[in-house]
Amino acid sequence: MKICLFPFRSASSRVIYNVMANSLVDLGHTLVEHAVAELVIAIRDFSKMTKRYSDKKYILFQIEQYVRKASFIDGLYQSEPDEIWGFDIDNESEIYTPLGYHPCLQFTTFLPKDVDVGFMGWQHGRRNTWRAVVRNKWTVLNTFDDAIREENITRARINLNIHFREGSMFTEWGRIAYFLANTQFFISETFHCSIAVPQFDSPAMYDGMVDHYLTYPEEREQRAREMTQSYKLDFDMRDILKSRL
C-alpha cells in the first residue's frame, strides 16, 4: 500500500515516526507523498495539510492524552479523521494502539550507571509537587536530543514514568518504549500496561519501591530482562500494524 506518514515536528514524536516508518517499510508498504497516497497516517496533527482528498483514508495517531476542555487537544479530534489511534485505553474516541517494538529503538551507547532515579520529560506541575514530598528525589534528565537521551536513560539505575495529569491511566509509550527496548529498568505511576511493570500510586509507595530496587540490583536487572522480553514478544510494532491496516 502507498502510505503517507505525516510527521508532527516535535522531538517527542520523532520516536513514533521512526518506529512507524520502519515498521511500515518492513511490512512491504511504500512511503509516499500525500497527493499520491492511498492512506494517510498523521502523527498528532493534520493542521499543516493544505488539502484533504476524498479518495484517501485518514488516520490520526494521537499521542497526546485527550482531556475535555483542553482546547488544543480537543481541536485535534475535530479534524475529522476516519480513525483515531492513541495511547489512552479509556478514551472511547480512539482505537488503543501501543507503540510497539522495532529494532530502530535499540541504543548504541550505554554509560555506567551513576544516577539512582532518572526522569526524562518536562518537570513541572504535579511532577514538581511529587518531587517535593518524596524522599528519593529523582534526577531530571530532561533532554530531547536523541544521542544524549540514550546516554541519560542508560545512566539511571531506575528510570521513572510519572504522569503529567492527575488521575491518568494514559500510557506514555513514547517514553517507556525506550526503556523496554533496551532492557532499562523502570517503575511507573499506575497506568494501563499488560507488561509486568512495577507500579506505584502514592509517594510512600514510590519511596518503598525505589528503596527495594536499589537494595536488590539482581532483582532489578531480572525484572528489566523480563519486561523487555515481553515487549519484544507481545508488542512488535509490525504485528500491531498488521492488525490495524
Q: Which residue has the higher pLDDT, 195 or 74?
A: 195
Helical residues (DSSP H) of the chain, grouped into ranges: 11-26, 71-77, 126-133, 146-155, 173-181, 203-215, 217-234, 237-244
Report pLDDT digits (tens) over 99-112: 999 999 999 889 99
Last residue of a domain, one of 74, 97, 120: 97
Confidence category of residue 78, pLDDT binned at 50, 70, 90 = low
Same domain, 67 and 187: no
Last residue of a domain, one of 36, 71, 97: 97
Q: pTM here?
A: 0.89
Last residue of a domain, one of 50, 82, 97: 97
Same domain, 16 and 93: yes
Whole-number Cα distances in Å, 55 to 81, 139, 190: 13, 50, 42
Place of cell 499543516: 48
Same domain, 21 and 138: no
Whether 193 contacts 169, CB under 8 Å: no
Same domain, 154 and 227: yes
Q: Which residue has the higher pLDDT, 16 or 22?
A: 22
Q: Which residue has the higher pLDDT, 33 or 147?
A: 33
Specify the number of domains making up the chain: 2
Whether 237 contacts 101, CB under 8 Å: yes
Same domain, 226 and 111: yes
Same domain, 127 and 223: yes
Report pLDDT digits (tens) over 111-160: 999 999 999 887 878 889 999 999 999 999 866 666 688 888 999 999 99
